[in-house]
Structure 1
Amino acid sequence: MDDFVRNHDLVDGTLHHAVAYVDRVLSVRAMRKHTDHELRLLAAPTIFVSAKYEDGQRTLAKLDPDKISWYVGGSATREEVLDVERRMVVALGYQLGGPTAHTFVSRFTKHAQGEEELKIQRMAHRLADESLRNYACLGHLPSVVASSAIFLARSALLNLPDVPAWSSEIQELTGYDVTNLAGCLHAMRPVAHL
């Protein structure tokens, strides 16, 4: 899914929503088979729906059901892709919004100013993206993953002894003390290479 999002230059946040959609669909509807084809046939339309949700018309200029069927390996038809998309949206109860770790990183860093803070924001987004590949991060709330990503980014990029990686202002903004993030931080450290 990550390669597909990158290859088609889809907007930030698309992958996070797509992964959330797959998780939500599989929690309410079991797959008949767990083959690579079936998983791709679910994943590709979730990316398409997520990209449309995130970027609307620009996505439609980049993708269509024929390109989505190609991602499935060329073995799916346009009609199959559209059918899976319809069934997926119904399984989601037409609720396509919802916060993701990407959403929370953006919210928690929306007032970032200056080169150092923008570097922290970019690194936190990358770490949140990497958390999607880390099974140990799946059990944590998106806000915890985002807060942990910000903490790790600040720890890696702020090499000033008088500037803490976590402050009372950040704690108030996120709602988390560092001790609340311990489990997620432990899971994310290998991804952050710290």
Structure 2
Amino acid sequence: MTDASEHISGLEDGTAGDSRRLSANLEAAPQRSAELQQRNDQQPPILPLVVASHVVPNNPVPLDVEDFDRKNWDDPFQVSPYAKDIFSYFQSREVKFPIGDYMARQKNLTTGMRALLVDWMVDVQEILEVHHEALYLGVKIVDLYLNRREISKERLQLLGAAAFFIACKYEEHKPPGVVDFLNVCDGTYNREELLAMERKVLRVLNFDLGIPLSYRFLRRYARCAKAPMPTLMLARYILELSLMNYATISFSDSQMASAALFMALRMHGGSGQLHQQTWNSTLIYYTGYQLAEFAQIVPVLNAGLHCDEQADIKTIRRKYSHKIFNEVAKVQLLTNEELFRNNLDLHEKKRTASKFKNSEHAF
């Protein structure tokens, strides 16, 4: 096909009224084609995209840091060329989803009711066999909604079901259907109520479900630290148990993941390893945090581990006491002093904070 015929086929519409315009286009076609060719000759050639397995990152990591991404550069499941940027982006989005102390505004709810709801959601996650990401996102949606809207205790479970339903649609390849969630609610609500709550939650969240989750941060950090599976499982237990703890709702998810991993590394190391520096340069590099930056979270998580089990809230401890989960719920607990021993001087940190506070008054 000639250049002129290409222009004709692109402009022809088959109407007699446009014959003069078509004729003019035909006459101008060779000139336009020549101009286009001249411009193309002046442009640098467009080379095909070639993905070469031998290409490695140009930005070197510090010498005392183990370069996890470089070692796994050819593994498509690790997406090493983009992983650090992806998780830096997740961290930057954390400020977009603040959750404050909303329970004071919830006249009909208590922290105990919220804990019961989360315990039920953990049970639902096992029943429906969905990924843990869906569970974490569902709980986060519940807290974000309660932070912005008041709700009655009679509709709290409906909120949990709708939030989990939304989370499954976002996270699962084959999410459970409406009937599945109505069944786990034992017929308390009908289809119209569930779908109406789903729409309401999405409007309140402005349809933004790209929420950073502590579970995702934990998996990334544990991989970079080469944590063995039992240690990762213990960190997951600590993190999942924290979902029921209202005291953790305002913490950064990336810092929560860091704190859970730090605790798991300390607890699985045994009492004979407490003299070692646990939060090393590799973890500092990949998490972006010094131990002191998330140290205040560790005692809160540790308090949850030491808390006596309630008869009506025991799903998570039962779950992680199973052999499938390495029975990590049975691991010997440590005191706060043991967790920080030879790693962080909490008394010095307090003195520094006090000195800074006093200096503020001087201005």
Taking structure 2 as the reference length, the TM-score comes to 0.48
Aligned mates of 2:217, 2:236 — CA distance in 1: 10
Q: Rg: which structure is higher?
A: 2
Q: Which runs of 4+ in 1 moved over 6 A?
A: none
Quote the offset at 1:78 in angstroms.
0.9
Counterpart for residue 151 of structure 1: 262
The match for 2:229 among 93, 96, 118 is 118
8 A contact 1:112–1:118 mirrored in 2: no
The match for 1:46 among 139, 160, 163 is 163
Aligned mates of 1:109, 1:54 — CA distance in 2: 21
Aligned mates of 1:54, 1:108 — CA distance in 2: 21
Counterpart for residue 20 of structure 1: 140
Aligned mates of 2:223, 2:207 — CA distance in 1: 28
Counterpart for residue 99 of structure 1: 212
What per-residue deviation string (whole Å, max 9, x for no partner) do you get for residues 111-167 of structure 1?
464xx5222222212211111112222231111110000000100112474853211
Q: Does 1:67 align with 2:180?
A: yes
Aligned-residue CA RMSD (Å): 1.9
Counterpart for residue 127 of structure 2: 7
Aligned mates of 1:39, 1:149 — CA distance in 2: 28
Aligned mates of 1:191, 1:9 — CA distance in 2: 26
Q: Which amino acid aligns with 1:17?
A: L
Aligned mates of 1:99, 1:107 — CA distance in 2: 13
- Which ranges in structure 2 are unaligned for 5 or more consecutive residues? 1-120, 306-332, 335-363
Select the structure that is richer in helix: 1
Aligned mates of 1:165, 1:191 — CA distance in 2: 22
Aligned mates of 1:135, 1:26 — CA distance in 2: 12
Aligned mates of 1:29, 1:53 — CA distance in 2: 22
- Which ranges in structure 1 are unaligned for 5 or more consecutive residues? none
Q: How many aligned residue pairs are there?
A: 185
What per-residue deviation string (whole Å, max 9, x for no partner) do you get for residues 22-56 of structure 1?
1111222222x2x2x30011100111111221113
Aligned mates of 2:298, 2:156 — CA distance in 1: 30
The match for 1:132 among 243, 251, 254 is 243
Counterpart for residue 173 of structure 1: 286
Aligned mates of 2:251, 2:225 — CA distance in 1: 25
8 A contact 1:128–1:149 mirrored in 2: yes
Relative to structure 1, the CA distance from residue 156 to residue 121 in structure 2 (aligned partners, 3 Å threshold; closer, same or farther) is: same
Kindly indicate whether structure 1 or structure 2 has the higher relative contact order, using CA contacts under 8 Å at least 6 residues apart. Answer: 1
Aligned mates of 2:206, 2:126 — CA distance in 1: 28
